[in-house]
Amino acid sequence: MNNIVAIVGRPNVGKSTFFNRLIQRREAIVDSVSGVTRDRNYGKSEWNGKEFSVIDTGGYIKGSDDIFEAEIRKQVELAIDEADAIVFLVDVEEGITPMDNEVAKLLRKVTKPVLLVVNKVDNAKREQDAFEFYNLGLGEYVTMSGMSGSGTGEVLDKIVEILPELPEVEEATEELPRFAVVGRPNAGKSSFINALIGEDRFVVTDIAGTTRDAIDTKYNRFGFEFNLVDTAGIRRKAKVKEDLEFYSVMRSVRAIEHSDVCILVIDATRGFEGQDQSIFWLAEKNRKGIVILVNKWDLVEKDTMTTVQYEKKIREEIAPFTDVPILFVSALTKQRLLKALETAVEVYENRKQRIATSKFNDTMLPIIEHNPPPAIKGKYIKIKYCMQLPTPVPQFVFFANLPQYIKDPYKRYVENKLREIYNFEGVPIEIYFRQK
């Protein structure tokens, strides 16, 4: 479970550069998601053994200067609501602007940790100029230069220092699967959950969830038992009405990180839109199981081909990770809801499966021998041994004499073969080639 750090500040203070610096500290565990909105603005960062998620609120501003004020205000309020710590970025070249004062006014009321970072400080003169920012009334600040990277270490030290201690998650004795219901606003998440839980509230116990508001509901019906991480019914504040895109991504980040399987609900009447794709890739990057539910299917005009065409279109959008169950449901008429649950449970089981090393070698090595990686510069690549790693999500390592020469297409070939033989439907898997 990770803390969420939000970066706020007015346009052009260098939020994106700073964000990129944060998430590239450790290439190995960091991968930003292209197109969470138009910008890359969700990523993971790690410093001194502490991992946290970073959200750059900058990519969400649209429109001209006159609406910037309202937009920034909205972002700051959202960050205050959703993040565990806030980094407020200001620009030493510009000094304190009226907009900085506005943001500071909002942040002074906050009980959450706020770190003031003065950017573009790359010489002693600017170090002097930074004193002015004490006037924002936010106490101590840290200086850095996003462009050259100087000072980034100090900023990270400070972030890690102010992050709140996360509560120990009670390990359930039976360790129930956790399913997060995610999707754009109005796709029908609430209706789906209500249809599942129905009027039989007695089978439901609300556990105070992973945050103040994503509620875990223990679900036990029709022979299924799991925790439902519900992001749907969360306080919809009036002020968030307009910026639903940012809002639902922010919500989904938390729900996805805390789940085993994500049930992505999309609105059949609107298609698989950019926002749905963002949430899908967010789940894929976090290596969660995924089930796609096309909801409101009862409202779509059908001929015999519709489901086939619709499904094909979605698979094109989510390529290369196309081994994902897609179900057509209606929360309203309760059509195929049980099937949806069954599928989520199957995906959970797929994600948990472990393949014995000897069996894995017996199966995969003949396939590889039959179709080895292409030779490079007259050098033949031999793969002698393979195994599944003991990680919570499926990862496989293949030991080769020249792993550096194995290219992506071959990696995909191996993954496809693996998926043909073993059932990893709905589960992202990772394949590594290493020196033997």
Flag whether 122 is marked binding. Answer: yes
Separation CA 105–CA 51 (nearest Å): 29
CA distance linking residue 151 with residue 143, whole number of Å: 6
User: Could you give the CA distance from residue 348 to residue 226 in angstroms, rounded to a whole number?
Assistant: 11
Does 230 belong to an annotated binding site? yes
Task: Give the DSSP H/E element, type plus range, for residue 168.
Answer: none
No. of helices (H) and no. of strands (E), the chain: 12, 16
183 marked as binding residue: yes
Q: Any known ligand binding at 34?
A: no
Q: Is 378 annotated as a binding residue?
A: no
Q: Is 239 annotated as a binding residue?
A: no
Is 59 annotated as contributing to ligand binding?
yes
Residue 188 labelled as part of a binding site: yes
Q: Exposed, middle or buried by CB within 10 Å (0-12, 13-18, 19+), for 370?
A: exposed
| Helices of type H across 198-299 | 244-257, 274-285
Known binder of ligand: residue 362? no
320 annotated ligand binder: no
- What spatial distance separates the first Cα and last Cα of the chain, rounded to whole Å? 34
Residue 65 annotated as part of some ligand binding site: no
**Coil vs helix vs strand at 12:** coil
Q: Is 153 annotated as a binding residue?
A: no
Q: Is 95 annotated as a binding residue?
A: no
- As a whole number of angstroms, the distance between CA 264 and CA 218 comes to 19
* 151 annotated ligand-binding residue: no
Tell me how far apart the alpha carbons of residues 223 and 178 are, in angstroms, rounded to a whole number: 16
Residue 386 has what DSSP assignment?
E
CA distance 262 to 251: 13
Residues in the chain: 436
Is 297 labeled as ligand-binding? yes
Is 213 annotated to bind a ligand? Reply is no
Separation of alpha carbons 102 and 298, rounded Å:
48
Which of 333, 353, 317, 368 minimizes the C-alpha distance to 427? 353
Please indicate if the annotation marks 232 as binding a ligand: yes
Would you list the DSSP string of 64-133?
Answer: -HHHHHHHHHHHHHHHHHH-SEEEEEEETTT-S-HHHHHHHHHHHT--S-EEEEEE---SHHHHHHGGGG
Tell me whether residue 400 is annotated as binding.
no
295 annotated ligand-binding residue: yes
Omega before residue 185 within 30° of 0, cis: no
**Residues of the binding site:** 9-16, 56-60, 119-122, 183-190, 230-234, 295-298
**Residues of the binding site for GTP:** 9-16, 56-60, 119-122, 183-190, 230-234, 295-298
